[in-house]
Amino acid sequence: MIAPRLIVGLGNPGSEYADTRHNLGFWFVDRLADELKTQLAPQGKFFGWIARDGQRWLLKPTTFMNRSGQAVVAVARFYRIAPEEILVVHDELDLPPGGIRLKQGGGNGGHNGLKDIQAHLGTPDFWRLRLGIGHPGDRNEVINYVLKAPRKEELQEIDRALDRCLLAWPRMAGGDFAAAQQSLHTKIV
């Protein structure tokens, strides 16, 4: 079992994006930092806000979404973190609000943050924690959709999903991704 050493929350910097669907990765990393009682601080050489928890690093890139790989590779190279030791947390159009999927590798589904990370790392073999935001129904509306705040009922589902991810965090932190997947992928009624 390989435990994650770098947890990256994807989002866009700036207060105008803080509450948008595209920033779910930031929301998770902020909650995880609170849970771990660690503080994120700006680090220019890593192009982001970073916190340390033992031998593990939390990162919120300050580059825009489509340049996320720059921050990820800066931290990964500096601390000699292999792609399979990286967990990227991001919004997912192909899951309903509150949906969660944890997986390693695979395609990027058109997600610009994932696309850039894959290009910078030279591999897709990092872990992803995919947090559902739903789809607007029309692909021409995707950009507007992800850059808007979730509706109240969607936000409730997303909050519950973030809580479930934090409950599964000890399993992920220990490298037991199979147990984490089992708990996260099981629909709670």
Catalytic residues: 22
Query: How far is Cα 137 from Cα 134, in angstroms, rounded to an integer?
Result: 9
**Pair 105, 125: CB distance under 8 Å:** yes
**Pair 165, 28: CB distance under 8 Å:** yes
**Pair 63, 112: CB distance under 8 Å:** no
Query: How far is Cα 4 from Cα 175, in angstroms, rounded to an integer?
Result: 7
Q: What is the DSSP string of 118-147?
A: HHHHT-S-SEEEEEE----SSGGGHHHHHT
97-122 burial string, b = 16+ CB within 10 Å, else e? bbbbebebeeebeebbbbbbbbebbe
Side chain identity at 145, as an amino acid letter? Y
